[in-house]
Structure 1
Amino acid sequence: MKGKYRAYNIKTIETSSYIEIYQYETPIISKVKENETSKSHLEFLEVENNKKSFEEMNASEQAESLSRKQKHYENMRWEIARLVDCNFDSQTKFLTLTFKENEQDIAFTNDEFRKFIQRLNYRLYKTKKATLHYIATWEKQRKRGAIHYHVILFKFPFIKVKELQTIWGHGFVKINKVEVDSLENHGRYLSKYFAKDLDIKEHKKKAFFKSQNLTLPIVKKFSSTNEMDLTNKNVIYTNEYTQKIPIFKAFSDNGSRNIEFEDRTVKYTKIKKD
């Protein structure tokens, strides 16, 4: 195999409030990436250019693509919750942007959202350098199909709503301070907006956005013959489940590679930090 690979059977993900532990029955073999610890597990990449577009797929391929990517986006919700937990502060706001016209073209609205972020960044910080801290997604209104945007803004300074609406320039804006009963629930509460309309987001080029200056969860992967010692730890949730892992076999006569699957048991533990 080309490149560097490593095997691990334990993965931990640490945020401001929690430590999550995944213990795998069968080791995972992964390729080592440069600067891996500095990269987020939250990837906002959609269909690669060398793959079929959603419109080019037949019905069965579209169904398979939707099922696969829906699980990806559902998992992404928890990645977003972790990002919120790592970045939440007293200045965090929740912003909704709407269009006065019934805009339904994702390419157009995404471009307008991008330009809004640039204008807002310059208004607040007087620089074209990306300084805003944010996560965002779009949503379609069920009845009209009108697109609007949900944005979580971290370290966000005060700005008058009227001025914010002028900077947006397309319609109504609503901004609120996030009020949740406890700090550790912020991520779970806010991430629910990113799990909406998964069925129609799957084949779009860009469904989620984030700034590149966010604090990321600390992810560690290592091998151990012993289970982790959780004595005196504040364990708030445990679960054991089975996942399918691919087993690659020899190539078939037509040149395609045969793939079979086997079960792997995963033990998940979530610990609340003191």
Structure 2
Amino acid sequence: MGSLRWCKAVETPSTVEVWEYSSPVGRMLPDGSEDAQEERKGEREGRSAAEYYDAAKRRERHYKGVRWEIARLIDCNFDASTKFLTLTFAQNVTDIKAANREFSKFMRRLNRSVYKSDSTLLRYLAVWERQKRGAIHYHVVLFGFPYMPKRELQAVWGHGFVKVNRIAVDQRMNVGRYISKYFSKDVEDGYKLKKYFRSQNLKLPEESRWVSEEPFSAEGCDVAFSKGYDQLIPDGAGGVRPRRIRYWKIRKEGGSDAIDM
């Protein structure tokens, strides 16, 4: 019998991503929630005791993960009526908390305007960006969004300028890359603040986990990218230990590798 391998797959309409781990951590543990909770507790303590991350590494991992999440969500929810929207304040609004409140109010107004309902039917994801002058603006992807004249959108926004574009089918992945790049900006300013918004009614990637005695093989698959790397994880005794990770991104039939970032 070979060594056990803990595997995870995330599937969208165009790709399947597979991770193979030499040992488990957190949710990769094979049994019960109590063990998983203890592992997560040990993970936090281990990071603190061994200075497992410095602040820069935490930010890097955070933004990289969110960039991939955005690209996957766009892949899962894109349709022929998807629109790309930019919202700009006419006034020099620099307070992100105040700007986010106005953005949330706008999304509720837009939902009522389009669907005549207080129930959230609007499907979207959005990020904010700080311009050089300090002003905040928003980039929004609206899925399944019907035609709405620009002047009406601008009236619903009510704070300044609106730009709206329809997204062509061959641009779907590039939109994910375009929006997600804003997560590499304003690191110090945005790391502790919510920078990414999405409606709760989006279709999510399918995720599966399993344990295997045999190594994963991508033979016969259309592999867009693969790599192997080592990672330090908590050892449960206040220190860290290494584990080996192998990763594959596999194109499904008719898929694209434009999601690469």
> Structure with the greater relative contact order (CA < 8 A, sep ≥ 6): 1 or 2?
2
In structure 1, distance between residues paired with 2:118 and 2:171: 35
**2:236 alignment partner, SS class:** strand
Runs of 4+ in 1 over 6 A off after TM superposition: none
Matched, 1:113 2:103: yes
Alignment coverage as a number of residue pairs: 229
Q: Is the contact between residue 136 and residue 151 of structure 1 (CA under 8 Å) also seen in structure 2?
A: yes
Matched, 1:27 2:24: yes
**Alignment match, 1:163:** 152
Residue type matched to 2:11 in 1? E
In structure 2, distance between residues paired with 1:184 and 1:134: 16
**2:63 alignment partner, SS class:** helix
**Alignment match, 2:232:** 244
**2:104 alignment partner, SS class:** helix
User: Once the 2 structures are TM-superposed, how far is the Cα of residue 186 of structure 1 from its aligned partner?
Assistant: 4.7
Q: Could you tell me which of 260, 264, 267 is aligned with 2:239? A: 260
Q: Deviations over 1:141-179 (max 9, x none)?
A: 02x100001111111110000010010000011011124
Task: Compare 109-118 and 260-269 and name the one that shifted more.
Answer: 260-269
Q: Is the contact between residue 10 and residue 23 of structure 1 (CA under 8 Å) also seen in structure 2?
A: yes
In structure 2, distance between residues paired with 1:126 and 1:145: 35
In structure 2, distance between residues paired with 1:173 and 1:248: 52
**Alignment match, 1:269:** 248
Matched, 1:219 2:207: yes
**1:111 alignment partner, SS class:** helix
Q: Deviations over 1:102-157 (max 9, x none)?
A: 10111111000000000000000000000110001111002x10000111111111
User: Once the 2 structures are TM-superposed, how far is the Cα of residue 76 of structure 1 from its aligned partner?
Assistant: 1.0
Residue type matched to 2:16 in 1? I
Structure 1 or 2: more helix by fraction: 2
**Alignment match, 1:137:** 127
Pick closer, same or farther for the CA change 1:187–1:260 going to 2, 3 Å: same
Gaps of 5+ in 2: 34-50, 254-261
> Could you state the TM-score of these two structures normalised by the residue count of structure 2?
0.81
In structure 2, distance between residues paired with 1:29 and 1:203: 23
Q: Is the contact between residue 246 and residue 260 of structure 1 (CA under 8 Å) also seen in structure 2?
A: yes
In structure 2, distance between residues paired with 1:113 and 1:136: 10
**Alignment match, 2:181:** 192
In structure 2, distance between residues paired with 1:66 and 1:105: 24
In structure 1, distance between residues paired with 2:155 and 2:171: 34
Q: Could you tell me which of 84, 87, 91 is aligned with 1:101? A: 91
Task: Compare 11-20 and 86-95 and name the one that shifted more.
Answer: 86-95
Residue type matched to 1:260 in 2? G
Task: Compare 192-201 and 215-224 and name the one that shifted more.
Answer: 192-201
Matched, 1:230 2:230: no
In structure 2, distance between residues paired with 1:245 and 1:26: 9
Residue type matched to 2:197 in 1? F
RMSD: 2.2
Residue type matched to 1:104 in 2? T
In structure 2, distance between residues paired with 1:8 and 1:173: 50
Q: Is the contact between residue 244 and residue 264 of structure 1 (CA under 8 Å) also seen in structure 2?
A: yes
